[in-house]
Structure 1
Amino acid sequence: MSMEYAPPLSFGREEAKKHVEVFLNTACPYCHNFFLAAHEAVMPRVEAGEVRYTIKHYDKPKVRLLHGTIANLFIDYNQPNEAYEIMKSLFLTQKEWARLDSGEIEQMMEQEYGCQEQRSTMNLSLDITKEALERSISVVPTVFINGEKFEFDSRSPVGTIGKALEQAVDSI
């Protein structure tokens, strides 16, 4: 019996000289700021072939993040463009759905996004959790640029994070 598996959400050329990697959770307000900043600062560079961008949804066992974990289990990472758009929508509407209970989140993912729970995403979640523990990642968002931890104030506004991210990528 083969185990269903989905890859992490990754965009850009495998051989790109710069790699931005983030561990995040869609229920985290600080991840919201990073995701939107990276959408503006990193995605154009991905499209230009300069950067590879990998997003790893960390289903960290923390009460405040459980809503993100529930929503994440419905995202099909085998459809990366759709997965990215769903994730972006979840961040943009985070304040509304983060107040729902688990059953309401499941219903939202099914009705509003047309998603079903993904066994392959559950397996990916376990792999990402294992990796996060091995790499001693204790908070989200945690960001790496070419393997080096990117230090930034996650409480900063989107524009400030975006500028810091651009500068960090440029300096490599």
Structure 2
Amino acid sequence: MLGIKNDYLVIGDVNAPVKMEVFLNYACPYCATFYELVDHTLPKYFTEGKVALVVKHYDKPREMLLPGTLINANLDYTNPERTLEIISELFKNQATWDKYSSFEIKKYIEEKYDLKEEPANIDRSLLITAEAIERNVKMVPTVFINEHEYQYPREIFAEELVEVIENELKNAVI
């Protein structure tokens, strides 16, 4: 994706006029809420080739987010379609695993999804962390829509997200 770093996980057409990047953590409840909003609000934009969403797991150093870091270490980014399905399911079931111990999380991700630790994910994590620092990302989720930054964890509603996307589509050169 031109001009977008670390585009390992993309939902939608990489050539879409609206590019969204989200820095998130799989253990963050606000990220789960945002991802649910994406799942319910944006599929038509993905299907129509109007929006591309780049998902960037940020291994942000906060104790409550460590379960997300452990999950991230095991995801298979060489199979992005399956990984995106797993991420969606993990967010939906976050309350069942986010308080597990490190050992329990590793066991959960291995047994439920047949995943093991992926050594390449260390480098991927470091690249995304460096990008987050470079872009001054302080919290998750942080969303960039065509380079305009939106920081949550305030509640965002579907209507607001659609309005932002529609405005970007009006301004896009197609």
The TM-score, its normalising length taken from structure 2, stands at 0.88
Report Cα offsets for 1:36-87 as digits up to 9, x if no partner: 1011222321121111110000010110100000011111111111111111
Q: How does 1:59-138 map to 2 (within 5 A)?
A: 59-138=59-138
Structure 2 Cα separation of the partners of residues 78 and 63 of structure 1: 28
RMSD: 1.5
1:150 alignment partner, SS class: strand
Deviation for aligned residue 1:88: 0.9
Q: How does 1:153-168 map to 2 (within 5 A)?
A: 154-156=153-155, 160-168=156-164
Runs of 4 or more above 6 Å deviation: none
How many residues end up aligned between the 2 structures? 163
Tell me which moved more, 42-51 or 59-68: 42-51
Q: Higher relative contact order by CA 8 Å / sep ≥ 6: 1 or 2? A: 1
% identity of equivalent residues: 36
- In the alignment, structure 1 segments of 5+ residues that lack a partner are 1-5
Give the equivalent residue in structure 2 for 1:56: 56
Instruction: Report the residue type matching 1:64 in the other structure.
Output: M
Deviation for aligned residue 1:164: 1.4
2:18–2:145 Cα contact (<8 Å) kept: yes
Structure 2 Cα separation of the partners of residues 94 and 111 of structure 1: 16
1:75–1:115 Cα contact (<8 Å) kept: yes
The TM-score, its normalising length taken from structure 1, stands at 0.89
- In the alignment, structure 2 segments of 5+ residues that lack a partner are 1-5, 169-174
Report Cα offsets for 1:87-112 as digits up to 9, x if no partner: 11111111110110001000000001
